[in-house]
Amino acid sequence: MSGEGDTPQAIRKLVPGRLVIASHNAGKVREIRELLGPYGIEPVSAAELDLPEPEETGTTFVANAELKALQAADLSGLPALADDSGLCVEALNNEPGIFSARWAGEGRDFALAMQRVEDRFAQLPPETGRDAHFVCALALAWPDGHVEWFEGRVDGTLVWPPRGDRGFGYDPMFVPAGHAVSFGEMEPAAKHAMSHRADAFRQLVAAVL
Protein backbone atom coordinates (compact mmCIF):
# COMPACT_ATOMS: atom_id res chain seq x y z
CA MET A 1 0.00 0.00 0.00
CA SER A 2 2.46 2.61 -1.17
CA GLY A 3 1.83 6.33 -1.02
CA GLU A 4 3.66 7.15 -4.25
CA GLY A 5 0.87 7.42 -6.80
CA ASP A 6 -0.96 4.79 -8.77
CA THR A 7 2.10 2.96 -10.13
CA PRO A 8 2.75 -0.19 -8.11
CA GLN A 9 5.84 0.23 -5.94
CA ALA A 10 7.90 -2.29 -4.05
CA ILE A 11 7.12 -2.22 -0.34
CA ARG A 12 9.96 -0.47 1.49
CA LYS A 13 11.33 -2.38 4.47
CA LEU A 14 11.85 -0.79 7.88
CA VAL A 15 15.28 -1.46 9.34
CA PRO A 16 15.95 -1.74 13.10
CA GLY A 17 16.68 1.56 14.82
CA ARG A 18 14.89 4.68 15.97
CA LEU A 19 11.34 5.31 14.83
CA VAL A 20 9.17 8.29 15.72
CA ILE A 21 5.68 7.51 16.94
CA ALA A 22 3.89 10.56 15.60
CA SER A 23 1.40 10.95 18.42
CA HIS A 24 0.97 12.96 21.62
CA ASN A 25 -1.63 10.49 22.94
CA ALA A 26 0.08 8.64 25.79
CA GLY A 27 -2.25 5.63 25.60
CA LYS A 28 -1.76 5.24 21.87
CA VAL A 29 2.03 5.61 22.22
CA ARG A 30 2.05 2.94 24.92
CA GLU A 31 0.11 0.47 22.76
CA ILE A 32 2.33 1.07 19.73
CA ARG A 33 5.51 0.65 21.83
CA GLU A 34 4.21 -2.71 23.06
CA LEU A 35 3.32 -3.86 19.56
CA LEU A 36 6.75 -2.83 18.20
CA GLY A 37 8.66 -4.35 21.11
CA PRO A 38 9.70 -7.65 19.48
CA TYR A 39 11.12 -6.15 16.26
CA GLY A 40 14.30 -4.29 17.23
CA ILE A 41 12.66 -0.91 16.77
CA GLU A 42 13.51 1.90 19.20
CA PRO A 43 10.32 3.99 19.45
CA VAL A 44 10.53 7.65 20.43
CA SER A 45 7.34 9.70 20.69
CA ALA A 46 6.65 13.01 18.99
CA ALA A 47 6.16 14.52 22.44
CA GLU A 48 9.64 13.39 23.53
CA LEU A 49 11.11 15.13 20.47
CA ASP A 50 8.94 18.22 21.08
CA LEU A 51 7.39 17.90 17.63
CA PRO A 52 4.20 19.90 17.00
CA GLU A 53 0.85 18.25 16.41
CA PRO A 54 -0.34 18.99 12.86
CA GLU A 55 -3.92 19.99 12.14
CA GLU A 56 -5.79 16.92 10.95
CA THR A 57 -7.25 18.26 7.72
CA GLY A 58 -7.72 14.92 5.95
CA THR A 59 -11.15 13.51 5.13
CA THR A 60 -10.19 9.88 5.81
CA PHE A 61 -8.28 7.99 8.50
CA VAL A 62 -5.51 7.20 5.98
CA ALA A 63 -5.12 10.83 4.91
CA ASN A 64 -4.81 12.03 8.50
CA ALA A 65 -2.32 9.30 9.37
CA GLU A 66 -0.22 10.17 6.32
CA LEU A 67 -0.02 13.88 7.07
CA LYS A 68 1.03 13.21 10.68
CA ALA A 69 3.67 10.67 9.66
CA LEU A 70 5.09 12.83 6.88
CA GLN A 71 5.44 15.87 9.13
CA ALA A 72 7.15 13.89 11.89
CA ALA A 73 9.55 12.23 9.43
CA ASP A 74 10.39 15.56 7.81
CA LEU A 75 11.03 17.37 11.11
CA SER A 76 12.92 14.54 12.82
CA GLY A 77 14.91 13.10 9.92
CA LEU A 78 13.78 9.65 11.07
CA PRO A 79 11.15 7.20 9.83
CA ALA A 80 7.84 7.98 11.51
CA LEU A 81 4.74 5.94 12.22
CA ALA A 82 1.38 7.65 12.70
CA ASP A 83 -1.96 6.22 13.66
CA ASP A 84 -5.33 7.75 12.94
CA SER A 85 -8.16 5.82 14.45
CA GLY A 86 -11.69 6.27 15.61
CA LEU A 87 -15.06 4.88 16.52
CA CYS A 88 -17.68 4.55 13.79
CA VAL A 89 -21.24 4.10 15.05
CA GLU A 90 -23.48 2.74 12.34
CA ALA A 91 -26.72 4.30 13.64
CA LEU A 92 -24.97 7.69 13.73
CA ASN A 93 -23.90 7.58 10.07
CA ASN A 94 -20.48 6.29 11.20
CA GLU A 95 -19.85 9.26 13.45
CA PRO A 96 -17.74 10.29 15.28
CA GLY A 97 -15.35 8.61 12.81
CA ILE A 98 -12.37 10.83 11.96
CA PHE A 99 -13.64 13.33 14.53
CA SER A 100 -13.43 10.84 17.41
CA ALA A 101 -10.70 12.74 19.26
CA ARG A 102 -12.38 16.08 18.62
CA TRP A 103 -15.59 14.85 20.28
CA ALA A 104 -13.48 14.67 23.45
CA GLY A 105 -12.76 18.41 23.31
CA GLU A 106 -9.48 20.24 23.84
CA GLY A 107 -8.99 18.50 27.18
CA ARG A 108 -9.25 15.03 25.55
CA ASP A 109 -12.06 14.14 27.95
CA PHE A 110 -13.26 10.79 26.61
CA ALA A 111 -15.85 10.46 29.36
CA LEU A 112 -17.42 13.50 27.71
CA ALA A 113 -16.98 11.96 24.26
CA MET A 114 -18.68 8.72 25.31
CA GLN A 115 -21.52 10.72 26.85
CA ARG A 116 -21.93 12.60 23.56
CA VAL A 117 -22.34 9.27 21.75
CA GLU A 118 -24.93 8.11 24.28
CA ASP A 119 -26.77 11.43 24.09
CA ARG A 120 -27.13 10.94 20.35
CA PHE A 121 -28.65 7.50 20.96
CA ALA A 122 -31.16 9.11 23.35
CA GLN A 123 -32.56 10.99 20.34
CA LEU A 124 -33.15 7.77 18.39
CA PRO A 125 -35.85 5.09 18.76
CA PRO A 126 -35.10 2.72 21.66
CA GLU A 127 -34.84 -0.28 19.34
CA THR A 128 -32.00 1.34 17.36
CA GLY A 129 -29.09 -1.04 16.90
CA ARG A 130 -25.83 -0.28 18.68
CA ASP A 131 -23.43 -1.84 16.18
CA ALA A 132 -20.12 -0.03 15.86
CA HIS A 133 -16.58 -0.59 14.68
CA PHE A 134 -13.17 0.85 15.33
CA VAL A 135 -10.90 1.71 12.40
CA CYS A 136 -7.14 2.21 12.59
CA ALA A 137 -5.02 3.57 9.74
CA LEU A 138 -1.26 3.32 10.15
CA ALA A 139 1.04 5.39 7.94
CA LEU A 140 4.78 4.76 7.90
CA ALA A 141 6.74 7.64 6.34
CA TRP A 142 10.39 8.24 5.57
CA PRO A 143 12.12 11.64 5.43
CA ASP A 144 12.25 11.44 1.61
CA GLY A 145 8.43 11.40 1.47
CA HIS A 146 7.85 7.69 0.83
CA VAL A 147 4.76 6.37 2.65
CA GLU A 148 3.31 2.93 3.26
CA TRP A 149 -0.13 2.62 4.86
CA PHE A 150 -2.26 -0.12 6.37
CA GLU A 151 -5.86 -0.11 7.65
CA GLY A 152 -7.43 -2.39 10.27
CA ARG A 153 -10.91 -2.79 11.72
CA VAL A 154 -12.70 -4.52 14.58
CA ASP A 155 -16.48 -4.86 14.87
CA GLY A 156 -18.59 -4.85 18.01
CA THR A 157 -21.43 -3.21 19.91
CA LEU A 158 -21.73 -0.31 22.32
CA VAL A 159 -22.75 -0.62 25.96
CA TRP A 160 -23.87 1.93 28.53
CA PRO A 161 -22.69 2.79 31.09
CA PRO A 162 -18.99 2.44 30.18
CA ARG A 163 -17.22 -0.55 31.74
CA GLY A 164 -13.63 -0.88 32.90
CA ASP A 165 -10.68 1.44 33.34
CA ARG A 166 -8.17 -0.20 30.99
CA GLY A 167 -7.40 0.96 27.49
CA PHE A 168 -8.18 4.52 26.49
CA GLY A 169 -10.58 6.61 24.43
CA TYR A 170 -13.91 4.90 23.76
CA ASP A 171 -12.67 1.48 24.91
CA PRO A 172 -14.94 1.25 28.00
CA MET A 173 -18.13 1.41 25.90
CA PHE A 174 -17.04 -0.97 23.12
CA VAL A 175 -17.55 -4.74 23.35
CA PRO A 176 -15.87 -6.58 20.46
CA ALA A 177 -17.93 -9.13 18.57
CA GLY A 178 -17.90 -12.56 20.19
CA HIS A 179 -16.87 -11.27 23.61
CA ALA A 180 -18.69 -10.33 26.80
CA VAL A 181 -16.25 -7.75 28.15
CA SER A 182 -15.44 -4.28 26.88
CA PHE A 183 -12.00 -3.18 25.69
CA GLY A 184 -11.92 -1.17 28.91
CA GLU A 185 -12.23 -4.39 30.95
CA MET A 186 -9.99 -6.57 28.82
CA GLU A 187 -6.40 -7.50 29.64
CA PRO A 188 -4.07 -5.49 27.36
CA ALA A 189 -2.62 -8.63 25.77
CA ALA A 190 -6.10 -9.85 24.85
CA LYS A 191 -6.99 -6.49 23.31
CA HIS A 192 -3.72 -6.39 21.36
CA ALA A 193 -4.58 -9.76 19.86
CA MET A 194 -7.79 -8.54 18.23
CA SER A 195 -7.98 -4.75 18.08
CA HIS A 196 -8.22 -2.56 14.99
CA ARG A 197 -4.67 -1.39 15.75
CA ALA A 198 -3.47 -4.99 16.00
CA ASP A 199 -5.14 -5.79 12.67
CA ALA A 200 -3.32 -2.90 10.98
CA PHE A 201 -0.07 -3.86 12.74
CA ARG A 202 -0.27 -7.45 11.47
CA GLN A 203 -0.41 -6.07 7.94
CA LEU A 204 2.48 -3.67 8.62
CA VAL A 205 4.68 -6.35 10.18
CA ALA A 206 4.05 -8.75 7.29
CA ALA A 207 4.93 -6.06 4.75
CA VAL A 208 7.81 -4.02 6.13
CA LEU A 209 9.49 -5.92 9.00
Q: Is 50 left (phi over 0), alpha (psi -120 to 50) or beta?
A: left
The answer as to whether 2 is a domain residue is: no
Q: Which of 84, 119, 165, 199 is catalytic?
A: 84
pLDDT digits (tens, 9 = 90+) for 3-16: 444 434 568 999 88
Q: Which domain holds residue 67?
A: 17-208
Which of the two residues, 189 and 89, has the higher pLDDT score?
89
The answer as to whether 12 is a domain residue is: no
pTM: 0.87
Q: What percent of the chain has pLDDT over 90?
A: 74
Q: Check pLDDT > 50 for residue 73.
A: yes
pLDDT digits (tens, 9 = 90+) for 190-203: 998 899 998 999 99
Cα–Cα distance, 87 to 104 (Å, whole number): 12
The answer as to whether 202 is a domain residue is: yes
Cα–Cα distance, 166 to 39 (Å, whole number): 25
The answer as to whether 6 is a domain residue is: no
Strand-strand pairing, 80-89 and 95-96: antiparallel
pLDDT digits (tens, 9 = 90+) for 23-61: 888 888 888 888 887 888 989 999 999 999 898 899 999
Beta strands in the chain (DSSP E): 17-21, 41-45, 80-89, 95-96, 131-141, 147-158, 174-176
Q: Check pLDDT > 80 for residue 158.
A: yes
**What ranges in 2-161 are assigned the alpha helix state H?**
26-36, 61-76, 110-122
**What is Dmax (Cα atoms) for the chain?**
53
CATH assignment of the domain containing 154 = 3.90.950.10
The answer as to whether 24 is a domain residue is: yes
Nearest to 207 by CA among 169, 131, 152: 152
Catalytic residue status for 74: no
Reported as a pLDDT band with limits 50, 70 and 90, residue 184 is: very high
Residue 77: CA count within 13 A, CB half-sphere = 0
The answer as to whether 113 is a domain residue is: yes
Let me know the angle formed at the C-alpha of 130 by 126 and 136, rounded to the nearest 5 degrees: 155
CA distance to 8, 105, 126, per residue, from 118 (Å): 43, 16, 12
The answer as to whether 9 is a domain residue is: no
Query: What domain count does the chain have?
Result: 1
Tell me if 157 sits within 8 A of 137, measured CB to CB: no
Cα–Cα distance, 165 to 180 (Å, whole number): 16
The answer as to whether 114 is a domain residue is: yes
